[in-house]
Each structure stands twice: as structure tokens, then as C-alpha cells.
Amino acid sequence: MLTADEIERYARHIVLREVGGPGQAKLKDARVLVIGAGGLGAPVLLYLAAAGVGTLGIVDDDTVALSNLQRQVIHATGDVGEMKVDSAAEVIQRLNPNVAIETYAERLGGTNALAIIGDYDIVADGSDNFATRYLVADACFIAKKPLITAAVGTFDGTLTTIRAHERKPDGSPNPTYRCLFPEAPPPGAVPACAEAGIIGALTGILGSMMALEVIREIVGFGEGLVGRLLMVDARAMRFETLRYEWDSNNPLTGDKPTITDLSAHNSTG
């Protein structure tokens, strides 16, 4: 049930035929876990809070640095040195006090991922490394949770939705993250943000699109990104979509799965 204050706050949602009162109530009842309160996580958290998602979980073990502020817009100069989860929680509370916030100032790993992810309806992964992305994707499959995952480079970004625990209407499996990216690149092959740099506004674009995809998944309108990889080229301002399918050789849901738990990820957390 929406309060009078909430009806006024979310009026521009409620008048949308695709959302309405029932859709807004779904957002209020939803529990969304956001991995990372950095460049991608910042706009995700801001827009999901503004949209009225009832509970937001934030996972990040890092503190705010001055060099973060070029793109991590949920933090400010006065937050430098503060834990990112605390800085983000303060801003969310000011933006929308109706949102419950749960913070995890710890690194996600094989020993804690399922316990944390299991408490949420949907996961948005804005982490900045391949080890965490594979961990989150595997954990979401095991926990049977939908996953929206994005990544950014210097001038490019990608976004997709994973529902590997479900099947298509024809009965065939939905693809996993490992169907899309069978193996992580070798260490050092992809330079870190601190080395390569990144256009700050690009993380705002991809993060906002992540939030939109989360909202669409919760409310249930439009065509989601399951089996589709959205690619953004910021140099040319070009958007393209690549379709991908289930790979019978993938180690998670393939014909001969070798991943049945998160023990292989224990060294990451």
C-alpha cells in the first residue's frame, strides 16, 4: 500500500500505463542488491532510490578517494576517506527516506556471496573486476536470482541481464555469463581504470541503464536484455545489440557442469 506522500513522490511513475500503482507497489516491495558503490553503482543506487525501491543493499569494501569523484557521483569531496557504503547510504537517506538501506562493508567472496545475495530479489553488479563478475554470476545462478551486469572501459561499455536459472518459453536454457564470456582475460590484459583512465559520464550512462533494466525486471514491461548484450561506443555515440545463446559447454549449466558451488571462488573473499 502506497502512502499519500509516496503517491505524490512517484506520481510521474504512477501515471505511466506500464507502471501505475501496481508497478510502483512492486518497486516498494522489491529488495535489490547493488555490488559496488563506484562509477556504475552510484547512478544505479541514486535512480533506484528515487524510483522507490523498498530495500537497497550495498556491497563495497572501499573508501572514497579524491580520484573517484570524477565519476562516482553519489560521493562528495567531504566524503573522502569515508567508507563508500556509508557515504552512499547517507545520500540515499536524504534523497528518499522511504528506502531501507542495508550495507556490507566487505569484499564479496566465495564464503559470503550466497548468504548476502540470498536475501535479495535481484542483483545489479557494477563491480570493476572479472573475478567478482564471475563470482556474482555463479552465485546468482545457484541462488536463483536475476542479475543485471555491466562493465565499462575507457570509452565503451556493455550491459546484459542474466536469468540462467530459468528457461525460455520453448524450454531451452537461458544463457549464463559464462556463455557470453567463457573465460576471463589473462591478468594484466585489461588495464585497470587507474592506468587506462575512463570518461566519467560513461559510467553515468551505463549505470542509469542498469537502473532502468532493474526497474523493468521488477515491474515487468518491455523486452529485457536476457540473451542480448548491449554495447555502447562513447567515441561514436553508437549503441549496438549482440544476441547470445546458451553454450552446452559452459561449466555452470552445460551438458557436463563442473561448477556446483562457489568453492573455486573462496580465494576472492
**Does the residue 76 lie in any domain?**
yes
**Does the residue 173 lie in any domain?**
yes
**Does the residue 254 lie in any domain?**
yes
**Does the residue 6 lie in any domain?**
no
What is the tens place of the pLDDT at every residue in 180-203?
Answer: 999 887 776 666 666 678 999 999
Taking residues 21-35, report their average pLDDT. 98
pLDDT category at 266 given cuts 50, 70, 90 is confident
Q: 256-262 long-range contacts, Cβ below 8 Å, gap at least 24?
A: 259/138, 261/142, 262/110, 262/111, 262/113, 262/114, 262/135, 262/138, 262/139, 262/142
Distance CA 154, CA 193 (A): 8
pTM (two decimals): 0.95
- CATH number of the CATH domain containing 153: 3.40.50.720
Into how many domains does the chain fold? Answer: 1
Mean pLDDT lowest among 67-76, 122-131, 177-186, 204-213: 177-186
**Does the residue 3 lie in any domain?**
no
**Residue 111 structural domain:** 11-264
